[in-house]
């Protein structure tokens, strides 16, 4: 089947199989930032933004995204500048192995669009769907807070 999507601003026409998940299709096409961890919507490591909504791409069929605009972690940078959430994660020791990080960064970046001034508690609740086995979440949550503050002061 023909899938037409915009990925990180680029229009794509891809031949996909109906049974393929969005995660499979993206990873096959080189968007490997989204990670395969549980393949059942439990961990958030495969999160991408589809038409403004952060979704677990492992439980979406690729064809469900037909006609949609997708942003992956690779597409968060603009004009060669890291997204503030990415910069805050990289600077604050919020990254350990990094396997959960694309999903967290995508989820947090998307959330800040909707709520640019979140409390720590709100961030923790937005990240409940993003499992991390390395960090204990403290530094990632702080990084999101810091990114939000930085964004506000601009």
Binding residues (CB under 6 A) for ligand FES: these are 36-39, 41-46, 56, 58, 95-101, 132-135
Q: Whose Cβ is closer to another protein: residue 14's or residue 129's?
A: 129
Q: Between helices 138-153 and 101-114, what is the axis angle to 10°?
A: 40
Residues that bind another protein (CB under 8 A): 30-40, 42-43, 45, 72-74, 76-77, 82, 86-87, 89-93, 95-102, 105, 123-125, 127-141
Q: Whose Cβ is closer to another protein: residue 68's or residue 132's?
A: 132
| 3-class SS letters over 58-84 | HHCEHHHHCCCEEECHHHCCECCECCH
Strand partners, 6: 11, 69
Shortest reach from residue 130's CB to ligand FES, in Å: 8
Shortest reach from residue 122's CB to another protein, in Å: 10
Shortest reach from residue 14's CB to ligand FES, in Å: 20
The Cβ of residue 124 has, within 10 Å, a number of other Cβ atoms equal to 14
Residues for the chain: how many in total?
154
Strand partners, 70: 7, 50
Q: Whose Cβ is closer to ligand FES: residue 41's or residue 90's?
A: 41
């Amino acid at each position: 089947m023909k899938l037409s999507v915009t990925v990180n601003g680029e229009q794509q026409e891809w031949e996909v199989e109906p049974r393929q998940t969005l995660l499979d299709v993206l990873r096959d096409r080189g968007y490997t930032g989204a990670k395969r961890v549980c393949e059942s919507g439990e961990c958030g490591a495969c999160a991408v933004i589809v038409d403004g909504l952060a979704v677990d791409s492992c439980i979406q069929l690729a064809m469900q995204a037909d006609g949609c605009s997708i942003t992956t972690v690779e597409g968060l940078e603009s004009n060669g500048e890291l997204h503030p959430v990415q910069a805050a994660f990289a600077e604050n020791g919020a990254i350990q192995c990094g396997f959960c990080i694309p999903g967290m960064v995508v989820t947090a970046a998307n959330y800040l669009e909707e709520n640019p001034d979140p409390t720590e508690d709100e961030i923790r609740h937005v990240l409940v769907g993003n499992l991390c086995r390395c960090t204990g979440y403290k530094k990632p949550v702080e990084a999101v807070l810091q990114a939000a503050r930085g964004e506000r002061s601009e």
